[in-house]
Structure 1
């Protein structure tokens, strides 16, 4: 499932089916997850956040995103970009909660 917000953000949600689990329940779980994400008012879902971090680190200047949930994948990517290219990263929030990530990128041509 996905939803496009009034601000233009597109948030995604899913749920896994398994033997004995009704299709209705799979749909309900996906819908509940999407509603919870929409309630945060954040611009990026937690599946996309960790994928954006490397690009933000390569951009010129400061990039700021809000995420519906900070995950261990996000924190790992942040640690890697700090170590590899020395990007300056500030995080508001903790794993499992919504958060804000601010990254001062290296302007691709100036990296390493």
Structure 2
């Protein structure tokens, strides 16, 4: 638990992948931080981009990853 919360992510690695479908369907920009990029997260981003045509950016910021969806 300490390893998960010490870097102060917005969401943990498990919630990060579950948010992708909701973020993909939401209007406007969305951004959140997570500690790790899991295979589930990577797959969900890929699926959302292919099926819904949305664009996600994943970038490293210090010891966290920023997941960002641009527009709708």
Find the counterpart in structure 2 of residue 83 from structure 1.
50
Greater Rg by CA: 1
SS across alignment from 2:43: helix
**4+ runs deviating over 2 angstroms:** none
SS across alignment from 1:40? coil
Deviations 1:9-31 (A, max 9, x none): xxxxxxxxxxxxxxxxxxxxxxx
1:103 is matched with which residue: 46, 65, 69?
69
Partner SS for 1:60: coil
Whole-Å separation in 1 of the counterparts to 2:44 and 2:58:
13
- Residue 104 of structure 1: CA displacement? 2.4
Structure 1 residue 38 displacement after superposition? 1.3
Task: Give the drift of 1:88.
Answer: 1.0
Aligned to 2:25: 58
Indicate the SS of the match to 1:70: coil
> Please, which runs of 5 or more residues in structure 1 have no aligned partner?
1-33, 107-112
Note the aligned Cα RMSD (angstroms): 1.4
TM score, norm. by length of structure 1: 0.58
Within 5 Å, give how 1:1-112 maps onto structure 2. 34-93=1-60, 98-106=64-72
